[in-house]
Amino acid sequence: MGRVYKTFATVCASGLTALVLSHARAQKFEGVAETPPMGWNSWNHYGCDIDEDLIKQTADAIAQSGLRDAGYTYVNIDDCWHGERDEDGFIQADPERFPSGIKALADYVHERGLKIGLYSDAGRTTCGGKPGSQGHEYQDAKQYARWGIDYLKYDWCATGTGEDQRNPREAYALMRDALHAAGRPIVFSICEWGDNKPWEWGEDVGHLWRTTGDIINCWDCEVGHGNWFSSGILPILDKQAGLRAYAGPGHWNDPDMMEVGNLPALGENRAHFVMWAMLAAPLIIGTDVVNMDPKILEILTNEGVIAIDQDPLGIQGFPIMKSPDLEYWVKPLEGGDFAFAVLNRSDEQKRYAYDWAAHPVGDNANGWNADTANIRYTVSDLLRGRDVGTTETPLTGAVPAHDVVVFRMKKNG
Ligand code: GLA
């Protein structure tokens, strides 16, 4: 009898161990997004009008233009690459647009020193009406791993409404577990538009989460599309308020893919890029890189600005002072440095002045204080590419309409 009991206890204990282990296995891949992901995505510029030639040409352009060497690694195919599921339920690429298949495309992208991403959806269909992953999560994750996929953006269309809506936390965790079980390290991008506060639960589930609805290429507009709307640069920027505490290495707020290159004015493109860097946002290019204006390439490859975004501390910046038209933003950086940007939201050039003695700079949330009364920082103008003074005197200058100035304050020269 004792032996039976002992065996029973052993079975129970091993069952418990298995349960604990299976719980422990439910995790995202670590170490794949220690700094905000950088790359390109097809959606903002091409929508559903994509095919394998476009993706190959884009990969070539990223590799040859200097974008890859500046850090843009991921070539992400958004909605509409999908064909039908095969007879076993495995998803296939659209045979007309991607006749060589995704594996061949992934090889092509990898051969150029880049990584490749795909898009799917937690519902029955994607936002573009293609097959979603609901009910096929493990199968899709296995297929992505077989193909060599490195990044998955996972959308939230067709997930039901009202009481019938999927629980977002569970739906995203299910795909996380499926990806983990498939065994290929992958960046998991949660795209549920901020509706269910993904910043509160996303850290254990994915590597980045959209904080808002879709971006659109205007400076300060919101455009309605029936039951949803898209937002320009300033409204998206404003919606980031209060979220900085949730971001850090491996888990980022995502204010959406960039419209840099798609905005009408050069200064707007520059300001958008700099502000995304101040936010420690993923830097996902959303424009035509094959026929890129050299001035846009120059913005996107600015090393100093990229270093702000990619700073290892992973602290999201914040506005420290605001006037009706100007915002002064701070982002603590590695080595005691900090980034300082002045954004001009208005339609006219404005003069700015920041007196370090009158307005001390600090970030209570991270226990950091610039202590400009005792430390002299060298002021490096990142857009002009040179040092322009020190924090011994107030920072003054002019910033054009819809534009930005940005500095790295260097603690040791
Ligand atoms: C949603 C997403 C977009 C894009 C489209 C594709 O709107 O938020 O970023 O992926 O779907 O249909």
Tens-place pLDDT, residues 13-59: 444 444 444 444 569 999 999 999 999 999 999 999 999 999 999 99
- The pLDDT, as a whole number, for residue 175 is 98
- The answer, yes or no, to whether residue 5 has pLDDT greater than 70, is no
Q: Is 214 a catalytic residue?
A: yes
The pLDDT, as a whole number, for residue 332 is 98
Give the chain's domain count: 2
In this structure, the answer to whether residues 278 and 382 fall within a common structural domain is: no
The pLDDT tens digits of the residues spanning 50-96 come to: 999 999 999 999 999 999 999 999 999 999 999 999 999 999 999 99
Q: What is the mean pLDDT of residues 230-247?
A: 98
CA quadruple 63, 69, 74, 80: dihedral positive or negative?
Answer: negative
Q: Which of 214, 254, 311, 337 is catalytic?
A: 214
Mean pLDDT across the chain, nearest whole number? 94
Reported as a single tens digit per residue, the pLDDT across 168-213 is 999 999 999 999 999 999 999 999 999 999 999 999 999 999 999 9
Q: Do 90 and 15 have their domain in common?
A: yes
Instruction: Based on the fold, state whether residues 124 and 265 are members of the same structural domain.
Output: yes
Q: Are residues 348 and 200 in the same domain?
A: no
| 315-368 tens-digit pLDDT | 999 999 999 899 999 999 999 999 999 999 999 999 999 999 999 999 999 999
- 296 and 398 together in one domain: no
CATH of the domain at 376: 2.60.40.1180
355-360 contacts at long range (C-beta below 8 A, 24 or more positions apart): 355/394, 356/391, 356/394, 356/395, 357/394, 359/320, 359/321
Q: Which range, of 17-21, 25-29, 302-306, 385-389, averages the lowest pLDDT?
A: 17-21
Percent of the chain scoring above 70 in pLDDT: 94
Q: What pLDDT does 413 receive?
A: 74
Same domain for 204 and 113, yes or no, is: yes
Query: Taking Cα atoms as reference points, which of 323, 308, 248 lies closest to residue 273?
Result: 308
Q: Decide: 258 and 295 in contact? Cβ < 8 Å.
A: no
Q: Which of 309, 334, 361 is the last residue of a domain?
A: 309
Hey, which of 45, 79, 156 would you mutate to test ligand 1's pocket, going by the most ligand atoms within 8 Å of its Cβ? Answer: 79
In this predicted structure, which of 16-20, 181-185, 254-258, 382-386 has the lowest mean pLDDT?
16-20
From 289, 309, 329, the end of a domain falls on 309
Residues 277 and 393 placed together within one structural domain of the fold: no
Do 100 and 176 fall within a single domain? Answer: yes
Residues 283 and 349 in one domain: no
Q: What's the rounded Cα separation, in Å, for the pair 383 and 246?
A: 29
Residue 7 has pLDDT above 80, yes or no: no
Domain end among 309, 336, 368: 309
Closest-lying ligand 1 atom to the alpha carbon of residue 126: 12
Contacts of 207 (CB under 8 A, 6+ apart): 28, 32, 33, 37, 187, 188, 189, 250, 251, 252
Interval 236-263 mean pLDDT? 98
Active site residue 325: no
Q: How far is the centre of ligand 1, averaged over its atoms, from the C-alpha of 101 (Å)?
A: 22
Whole-number pLDDT of residue 262: 98
Same domain, 190 and 330: no
Question: Is the per-residue pLDDT at 148 higher than 80?
Answer: yes
Q: Find the mean pLDDT for residues 257-278.
A: 98
125 Cβ below 6 A of ligand 1: no
Q: Exactly one of 78, 79, 140, 155 is catalytic; which is it?
A: 155
The boundaries of the domain holding residue 358 are 318-411
Looking at residue 57, which CATH number applies to its domain?
A: 3.20.20.70
- The verdict on 201 and 333 lying in the same domain is no
- The answer to whether residues 127 and 196 belong to one domain is yes
